[in-house]
Amino acid sequence: MQNNSLTRADESNLLRRQHHHVSISKDEQEWKQRLANANRADQDFLMTTPDEQAMNLHLTTTAREIGVPESLREQIIEAILKDIYGYSILTELKLRPKVTTIWAYGDDRIEYAEGGKIKTYEYRFQSIEEVYRFIEKKLSGTTYKYARNIPEIDAILADGSRFHIMQGSAGISVRDADGRALTRRMPLLTIRQFVYPYRLDEMVKDKQLRTYLEWLPQLGEPFVIAGNQGAGKTTLLNAMTAFVPTRYHLITIEEAPEMQPLFKGVVVRLWNQGEINEFHFVSMIKNTRASLRMTGDVMTIGEIRDEDTTWEYLRITNIGLYLTATTLHADNVQDTIFRLMTLGIASKPHPPQKTVLDMIARGVSHVIYLRREGEYMGIQEVAELTGYEQDEIQLRTVFERDIVTGETYFHGLSERMKAKAIRAGMLIKGMID
Q: What tens-digit pLDDT sequence spans the chain (433 residues)?
A: 333 334 444 444 444 434 444 456 778 889 998 998 898 888 778 877 788 899 999 999 999 999 999 999 999 999 899 888 889 999 999 888 888 899 999 999 999 988 778 899 999 999 999 999 999 989 888 878 788 889 999 888 888 788 999 998 899 998 888 888 889 999 999 998 877 788 999 999 899 999 999 999 999 999 999 998 878 899 999 999 999 999 998 999 887 777 889 999 888 888 776 555 555 567 878 888 777 777 778 999 999 999 999 999 999 999 999 999 999 999 999 999 999 999 999 999 899 999 999 999 999 999 999 987 655 678 999 999 999 988 899 999 999 999 888 899 999 999 999 999 999 999 888 888 6
Question: CA torsion, points 160, 162, 166, 172, in degrees to nearest 10?
Answer: -130
Do residues 230 and 98 touch, judged by C-beta distance below 8 A? Answer: no
Task: Report the distance separating Cα 127 and Cα 4, nearest Å.
Answer: 18
What does pTM read for this prediction? 0.75
Do residues 247 and 278 touch, judged by C-beta distance below 8 A? Answer: no
The beta-carbon contacts of 145-151 under 8 Å, at least 24 apart in sequence, are: none
Evaluated on CA atoms 13, 18, 21, 22, the torsion sign reads positive
Number of other CB atoms surrounding residue 268 within 10 Å: 14
Helix (H, G, I), strand (E, B) or coil at 345: helix
Strand partners, 271: 254
Q: Spell out the domain ranges in the chain.
A: 8-192, 200-432
Q: What is the pLDDT of residue 433?
A: 63
DSSP H helices in 373-424: 415-423
b (16+ CB within 10 A) / e for 110-139: bebbbebeeeebebbbbebebbbebbebbb
Q: What is the pLDDT of residue 384?
A: 98
Which of the following CATH numbers is that of domain 200-432: 3.40.120.10, 3.40.50.300, 2.60.40.10, 3.40.50.720? 3.40.50.300
Do residues 291 and 270 touch, judged by C-beta distance below 8 A? Answer: yes
Could you tell me the fold of the domain covering 8-192? Beta-Lactamase (3.30.450)
Angular region, 211: left φ>0, alpha ψ -120 to 50, beta rest: alpha
Task: Report the distance separating Cα 265 and Cα 261, nearest Å.
Answer: 10
Q: What is the pLDDT of residue 280?
A: 58
Strand partners, 379: 370
Helix (H, G, I), strand (E, B) or coil at 166: strand
Query: C-alpha distances in angstroms, 63 versus 80, 157, 187?
Result: 12, 22, 33
Q: What is the pLDDT of residue 45?
A: 84
